Amino acid sequence: MRTVTLLLAAFMISAILAPPEERLGNSYKLIYLHLPLTFFSFLTIVLLPVLSLMEVFGRKIRSEKFAIAGVMFAFANLAVSALFMKLAWGGVAFSEPRFALSALLIILLILFIAAKHVSPYVAFVHSVLTPFLIMYAYSDSSTTFQLHPSSLVGLEPLMVIPMFFSFPLVALLYFWISTRR
């Protein structure tokens, strides 16, 4: 618990001290949550085939807990994305490709949870197909649009520091949700 408290305090202090981004001002600081939320919600679709296969062979993994964590993180990511769009653009664009991709991810993860209640075999097949569906949806969309910088490399060092604290915080939360009994 002390680790989480220290990470949270370090994240808050570094996010407050980070200078505003040149074009987007302080609204850019939402990226400190957006990136780890996106990473871990999409990590779920990579983990689920492995976890499902282990369950098919009799291991008691409870892969639906990871899917639930993925749904929660994808919903949180949608909320952060919508807030960012509202602050940066003055409105929310539901047709923005990454926004739609996160919504698709939520639907596919909910379908995985439903498939898990039918059979671990059905859930395994679903979990294997899901990454391909996401890759197809991503490649089929016009995802070349980029509001925020495509790389953190060109940012001032103070603007990158909060990411060193937000990723471990989100990782701890993700694995806590996924492994709770």
Residue 66 belongs to domain spanning: 2-11+32-145+154-179
**Does any domain span residue 107?**
yes
Residue 156 CB contacts under 8 Å (≥ 6 apart), including other chains: 19
Cα separation, 36 vs 11, whole angstroms = 13
Q: What is the pLDDT along the chain (181 residues), one digit of tens a residue?
A: 667 777 778 778 877 877 877 777 777 788 888 888 888 898 999 999 999 999 999 888 889 999 999 999 999 989 888 888 888 778 877 777 777 888 899 999 999 999 999 999 999 999 999 998 888 877 765 544 444 444 544 566 667 777 777 888 888 888 888 887 7
Residue 136, Cβ neighbours under 10 Å: how many?
Answer: 10
**Does any domain span residue 25?**
no
**Does any domain span residue 122?**
yes
**Does any domain span residue 20?**
no
Whether the predicted model's global pTM rises above the 0.85 cut: no
Q: Domain tally for the chain? A: 1
